[in-house]
């Protein structure tokens, strides 16, 4: 059962009532077909026979049980991936053939979009409208993008001093261990596997224990398009067992994690202690959105609302620290309250719902705990702050004002629908305060002054800066963080290059008058 509503709040009463069907939660228009581990092209039970339950965050009820991978299953998956890389056809195919298969995979994803979208919503609580609009087509686009690169991976010819010539080879890095989070299960699955497969690597990918269903479904689709056995292996399991085994495995050449900073530390340590495998980490954030007084307030309100509340705030790039210049602060606060009132909260399967449940009880309780921290630390809870409904992990969109930089809600990643609004005076001040965090993933700046734009964008220590927008971008834009938001970059050409090794070959030349 969901926790009772928080007590002692001085916030304005919210208008939200859960938007549901009259008969209660909508029955998902899909059945679960794939629950076993996918190893060497086959669905198999775990060696131990263990399973675990995945839950519907709308109702807190069990959806199904899936096989739980342990270290023995990781060994089998890595063995299959190693054999496929060392002796199989995938890395030896022409890029044209490999790309053609991946294009087919991307098309097949769209052909099954309704079923995949329903599984994603059922398992994660993401609004179905959003999954159909963003997650499924976005995943297909990512695969198409990298499939197009498969036959364009090449090195350089080097004219060297002396009677030598050199050239570089860009070769697949090998067997890749990939660990994805629960907030964007489908998009993360394709963000990880697409560049790796395009390069000719083989993959062992672990889904989040909260959201295993779409990864297993997409494993099934990989067989239909002709990806050879062992090239893509999909495991469901837990971080302390499955992810730990992947991170320290001696036959894995690279690991890529999207997750929390705490988990990133553990993965990096395990990789270093094993075979010094290459590591890419896309980790947490506490991102600032800076609103200057020359920007249209109504537009700023819409951008800030999306920055803070998309996917119920469960996104590493969330603009959860909203810095508003003092001249327009009061007007912004009044208008953002009205905008948040319009947020439609309810069953994510119901058309028009924008805000579904949080993913699970642990995250639900963590968010409510941080809301209490905000009140305890002296911030003013302006609106929201409560749970909704008798069942399910629903939390009201929440706004704090009078937030100080050293408060926990301004420093620590909440990963929920909690917006902190902070007032500032000068550009110098907001640059310093915007950087005053251990994170540096993304940031946003809203201003029509080009000098302000350039100064702030170049001064903020973050891997991606949005000017007069937020969440704009595509699969061709690299993503990664400064400071404790991660190491390396994913997506775009940078994401492709992270799955390649560069080899230099040097040969002598016979004497020539043109040397």
Q: Tens digits of per-residue pLDDT, 295-351?
A: 999 999 999 999 999 999 999 999 999 999 999 999 999 999 999 999 999 999 999
Q: Find the distance separating the first CA and the last CA of the chain, reported in whole Å.
A: 78
What is the predicted pLDDT for the residue at 154? 93
Q: What is the DSSP letter of 28?
A: P
Mean pLDDT along residues 136-159: 96
Q: Which three-class secondary structure state does DSSP give residue 249?
A: coil
Asked if 45 contacts 67 with a C-beta cutoff of 8 angstroms, the reply is yes
Confidence of residue 410 (pLDDT cuts 50, 70, 90): very high
| Same domain membership, residue 495 and residue 378 | no
Whether the per-residue pLDDT at 1 is higher than 70: the answer is: no
| Same domain membership, residue 346 and residue 273 | no
Helix H or strand E encompassing 267: helix 261-273
Domain residues for the domain of 490 are 37-283+485-502
Structure tokens at 398: 């929440």
| Same domain membership, residue 492 and residue 424 | no
| Same domain membership, residue 278 and residue 214 | yes
| Same domain membership, residue 375 and residue 229 | no
Residue 380 within any structural domain of the chain: yes
Structure tokens at 480: 């990664």
Asked if 254 contacts 176 with a C-beta cutoff of 8 angstroms, the reply is yes
| Same domain membership, residue 200 and residue 110 | yes
Q: What is the DSSP letter of 345?
A: B
| Same domain membership, residue 189 and residue 269 | yes
For the stretch 45-97, pLDDT in tens is 999 999 999 999 999 999 999 999 999 999 999 999 999 999 999 999 999 99
Q: Is 404 a catalytic residue?
A: no
The catalytic position among 68, 120, 209, 282 is 282
% of the chain with per-residue pLDDT over 70: 97
- C-alpha–C-alpha distance, residues 452 and 480, integer Å: 24
Average pLDDT for the chain: 95
Asked if 60 contacts 392 with a C-beta cutoff of 8 angstroms, the reply is yes
**DSSP H stretches of helix in 50-94:** 71-86
Whether the per-residue pLDDT at 361 is higher than 70: the answer is: yes
Mean pLDDT along residues 123-149: 97
| Same domain membership, residue 364 and residue 267 | no
Helix H or strand E encompassing 365: helix 361-376
- C-alpha–C-alpha distance, residues 254 and 155, integer Å: 21
Residue 508 within any structural domain of the chain: no
* CATH code where residue 77 lies: 3.40.605.10
Mean pLDDT along residues 96-125: 98
Residue 211 within any structural domain of the chain: yes
| Same domain membership, residue 347 and residue 223 | no
- Tally the domains of the chain: 2
Structure tokens at 513: 């008058």
| Same domain membership, residue 367 and residue 234 | no
Q: Is 469 exposed, middle or buried (0-12, 13-18, 19+ CB in 10 A)?
A: middle
Confidence of residue 2 (pLDDT cuts 50, 70, 90): very low
| Same domain membership, residue 492 and residue 347 | no
| Same domain membership, residue 165 and residue 48 | yes
- C-alpha–C-alpha distance, residues 453 and 444, integer Å: 10
Residue 32 within any structural domain of the chain: no
Mean pLDDT along residues 457-471: 97
Whether the per-residue pLDDT at 506 is higher than 60: the answer is: yes
Largest Cα–Cα separation, the chain: 87
Confidence of residue 160 (pLDDT cuts 50, 70, 90): confident
Mean pLDDT along residues 481-497: 96
What is the predicted pLDDT for the residue at 11? 62
The catalytic position among 316, 360, 413, 490 is 316
pTM over 0.85: yes
* β-pair partners for 344: none
Number of alpha helices (DSSP H) and beta strands (DSSP E) in the chain: 16, 24
Confidence of residue 12 (pLDDT cuts 50, 70, 90): low
- C-alpha–C-alpha distance, residues 101 and 103, integer Å: 5
- C-alpha–C-alpha distance, residues 481 and 109, integer Å: 30
Whether the per-residue pLDDT at 7 is higher than 60: the answer is: no
Q: Is 469 a catalytic residue?
A: no
Residue 312 within any structural domain of the chain: yes
Query: Rg for the chain (alpha carbons), in Å?
Result: 24
* CATH code where residue 459 lies: 3.40.309.10
């Amino acid at each position: 059962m969901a926790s009772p509503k928080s007590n002692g709040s001085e916030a304005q009463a919210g208008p939200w009532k859960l938007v549901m069907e009259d008969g209660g939660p909508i029955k998902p228009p899909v059945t679960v077909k794939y629950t076993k581990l996918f190893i060497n092209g086959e669905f198999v039970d775990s060696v131990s026979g263990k399973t675990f339950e995945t839950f519907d965050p709308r109702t807190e009820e069990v959806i199904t049980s899936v096989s739980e991978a342990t270290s023995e299953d990781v060994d089998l998956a890595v063995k299959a991936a190693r054999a496929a890389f060392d002796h199989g056809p995938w890395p030896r195919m022409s890029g044209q053939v490999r790309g053609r298969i991946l294009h087919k995979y991307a098309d097949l994803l769209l052909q099954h979009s309704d079923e995949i979208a329903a599984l994603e919503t059922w398992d994660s609580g993401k609004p179905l409208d959003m999954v159909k609009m963003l997650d499924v087509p976005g995943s297909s686009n990512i695969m198409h993008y990298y499939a197009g690169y498969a036959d364009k991976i090449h090195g350089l010819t080097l004219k060297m001093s002396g009677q030598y010539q050199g050239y570089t080879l860009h070769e697949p890095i090998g067997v890749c261990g990939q660990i994805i989070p629960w907030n964007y299960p489908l998009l993360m699955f394709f963000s990880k596997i697409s560049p790796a497969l395009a390069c000719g690597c083989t993959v062992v990918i672990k889904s989040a224990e909260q959201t295993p269903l779409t990864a297993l479904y997409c494993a099934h689709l990989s067989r239909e398009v002709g990806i050879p056995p062992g090239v893509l292996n999909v495991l469901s399991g837990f971080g302390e067992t499955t992810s730990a085994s992947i991170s320290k495995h001696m036959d894995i050449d690279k690991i890529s994690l999207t997750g929390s900073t705490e988990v990133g530390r553990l993965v990096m340590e395990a990789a270093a202690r094993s075979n010094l495998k290459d590591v890419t980490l896309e980790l947490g954030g506490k991102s600032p959105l800076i609103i200057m007084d020359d920007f249209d307030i109504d537009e700023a309100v819409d951008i800030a609302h999306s920055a803070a509340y998309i996917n119920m705030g469960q996104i590493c790039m969330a603009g959860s620290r909203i810095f508003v210049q003092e001249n327009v602060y009061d007007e912004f606060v009044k208008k953002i309250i009205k905008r948040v009132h319009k947020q439609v909260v309810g069953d994510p399967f119901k058309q028009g719902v924008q805000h579904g449940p949080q993913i699970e009880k642990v995250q639900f309780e963590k968010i409510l705990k941080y809301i209490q921290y905000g009140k305890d630390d002296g911030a003013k809870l302006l609106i929201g702050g409560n749970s909704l409904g008798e069942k399910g992990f629903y939390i009201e969109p929440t706004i704090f004002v009078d937030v100080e930089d050293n408060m926990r809600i301004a420093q620590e990643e909440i990963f929920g629908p909690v917006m902190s609004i902070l007032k500032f005076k000068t550009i110098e001040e907001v640059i310093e305060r915007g950087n005053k965090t251990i994170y540096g993933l993304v940031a946003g700046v809203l201003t029509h002054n080009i000098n302000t734009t350039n100064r702030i964008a170049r001064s903020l220590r973050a891997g991606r800066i949005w000017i007069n927008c937020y969440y704009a971008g595509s699969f061709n834009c690299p993503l990664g963080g400064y400071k404790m938001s991660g190491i390396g970059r994913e997506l775009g050409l940078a994401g492709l290059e992270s799955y390649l090794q560069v080899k230099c070959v040097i040969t002598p030349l016979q004497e020539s008058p043109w040397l």
